[in-house]
Amino acid sequence: MVLRRFSSVTRPVSLTVEKFPGYNRNHRFKKLTDDDVSYFESIVGKRGYICNVDELSPYNIDWMNKFRGQSPLVLLPRNTQQISDILQYCNEQKLAVVPQGGNTSLAGGSVPIFDEIILSMRHMNRIRSFDNVSGILTADAGCILEVLDNWLAEKGYMMPLDLAAKGSCQIGGNIATNAGGLRLLRYGSLHGSVLGLEVVLPNGTVLNNMSTLRKDNTGFDLKQLFIGSEGTIGIITGVSILTPLRSKAVNVAMLGLNSFEDVQDAFKHARLELSEILSAFEFWDNQSFQIYKKHFPYKDIMTKDYPFYILIETSGSNKRHDDEKLTDYLGQMMNNGIAQDGVVAQDQKQIKDLWDVRDGLTGALGKEPAVYKYDISIPVANIWHCAQDMRHHLCMGGVFGEKDSPVTDVVAYGHIGDGNVHLNIVTKDLDTRVSDLIEPYLFEWVAKHQGSISAEHGLGVAKNEFLGYSKTPEMIELMKTLKNILDPNGILNPYKYLPQT
């Protein structure tokens, strides 16, 4: 089912500039006038924009209900030429623009800070072509990930990435954030599977690089610059992507384990024993599981609670062969005491039930009063150490008395196979006392352990000031130079991505 949802809860959200003081509107940007709106109407037509306050609201608020901008205008172009005309005008007039896909960003990147115009990609949703031999798909950037995946399923193929936001997020947004997701372990990063892009530059120039070639060694690989650029140097309008064949045999198992060492052992063995059929290896801790159970209906999959859970998926072409491998692997896990309990899905419904737990963690946390989200990558061995250290730092470190602590939980889950953990710090309310304790403490910890402060969600407005913990001053300078070359007026997604101070 395709679920389109803008935001996790519906409580009132204060403006980003009120909640996080310190932002100043760039006075070089023009304020929108009626003449501008009339000009845009001449490009997108009467039905191609929104300026009614109530209808604007979901576009101005992010999925986490944390960031809220004040855009007076959403543009809904239907083709690349319209986007080119819009950007050319905005660049000349110095009107700032925020590109928006499915608005599922977890870094505050998809909503404005002030009055930037929102350019929504939701009407750019045409599948352009599919090559049934090579599996190469070309599509508009506004196609919803799940729609593409369902369309490909009928042809025996699948999208190379999958994430819990698939019912809302768009392939253009995935590429703009270089989303990782649940099967990166098997199908690799978008830097590998994206073969070509069509991008509109801030001055309106259309860069047509919609290559459908797997091999092309001519010149700089410019598309790579836009993968993970979070809408700051161009708007992705078209995508050419290599899609894998859908596996005929899929198995999913969930195991309960006693320690993080056991989680690591289970992963090592999975790589060894399941090798080429392993397609996902996810983990979550008991604290996350309790929050899931608090907010979603759950039929006991396991009779007892365990400190850790893993979800293992295999995908192959021969069910009997895969069943045998998985059974051997699970037997070993139980016999040598690495796993304490386990279930294997017997049909599609049970496969979905098991995935629902892992997929539902973000949604469950979204129902808590407030959450600080971190998506770090560090060597796997340090993942649990990091979570424990944060727990100690925030909850038992004595800064807040046990009773009065605004922190109610520190939970961890994520993509073990990619060395990527999602630390979620649950609080009674957004509280600068807590965020000041976490940042930059956590980022220093990550830098010290040769990690990245963002493994997959990107920098947006949540982490841009901390980029220096993951990149050298020379690299940041070069990034700023590239931004200035491509967007000299700074109109695309301002105030975000690169450090502003």
Contact with ligand FAD (CB under 6 A): which of 44, 158, 169, 253?
169
- Of 159-167, 257-265, 302-310, 341-349, the segment contacting ligand FAD by CB under 6 A is 159-167
Binding of ligand FAD by 239 (CB under 6 A): no
364 binds, among ligand FAD, ligand 2HG, none (CB under 5 to 8 A by kind): none
CB within 8 A of 72, min separation 6: which ones?
Answer: 32, 51, 56, 115
Binding of ligand FAD by 82 (CB under 6 A): no
Tell me the residue number closest to ligand FAD, measured at CB. Answer: 173
Residue 217 structure tokens: 């060694």
Distance separating alpha carbons of residues 279 and 421, to the nearest angstrom? 18
Q: Please list the residues that pair with 493 across neighbouring strands.
A: none
- Of 11-19, 378-386, 424-432, 454-462, the segment contacting ligand FAD by CB under 6 A is 454-462
Nearer to ligand FAD, 325 or 457 (CB): 457
Q: Closest separation between CB of residue 261 and ligand FAD, Å? A: 25
Contact with ligand 2HG (CB under 6 A): which of 128, 269, 293, 373?
373
Of residues 142, 86, 79, the one with CA closest to residue 110: 142
Q: For 70, which DSSP code?
A: -
Residue 233 structure tokens: 């140097």
The answer to whether 201 and 486 have CB atoms below 8 angstroms apart is yes
Q: Closest separation between CB of residue 302 and ligand 2HG, Å? A: 20
Residues 288, 293, 296, 301: is their CA dihedral positive or negative? positive
Site string for ligand 2HG, 374-393 (x = CB under 6 A): -x------------------
Of residues 262, 263, 307, the one with CA closest to residue 287: 307
Q: For the chain, how big is the Rg over CA atoms in Å?
A: 23
**Residue type for 77, please?**
P
Distance separating alpha carbons of residues 125 and 168, to the nearest angstrom? 12
Size of the site for ligand 2HG (CB under 6 A): 10
Q: Closest separation between CB of residue 364 and ligand 2HG, Å? A: 9
Q: Closest separation between CB of residue 378 and ligand 2HG, Å? A: 15
Distance separating alpha carbons of residues 330 and 390, to the nearest angstrom? 32
Binding positions for ligand 2HG, rule: CB under 6 A? 164, 361-362, 365, 373, 375, 414, 422, 424, 456
Binding positions for ligand FAD, rule: CB under 6 A? 63, 98-106, 109-110, 121, 141, 163-165, 169-170, 172-174, 176-177, 179-182, 230-231, 235-236, 362-363, 456-457, 460, 493
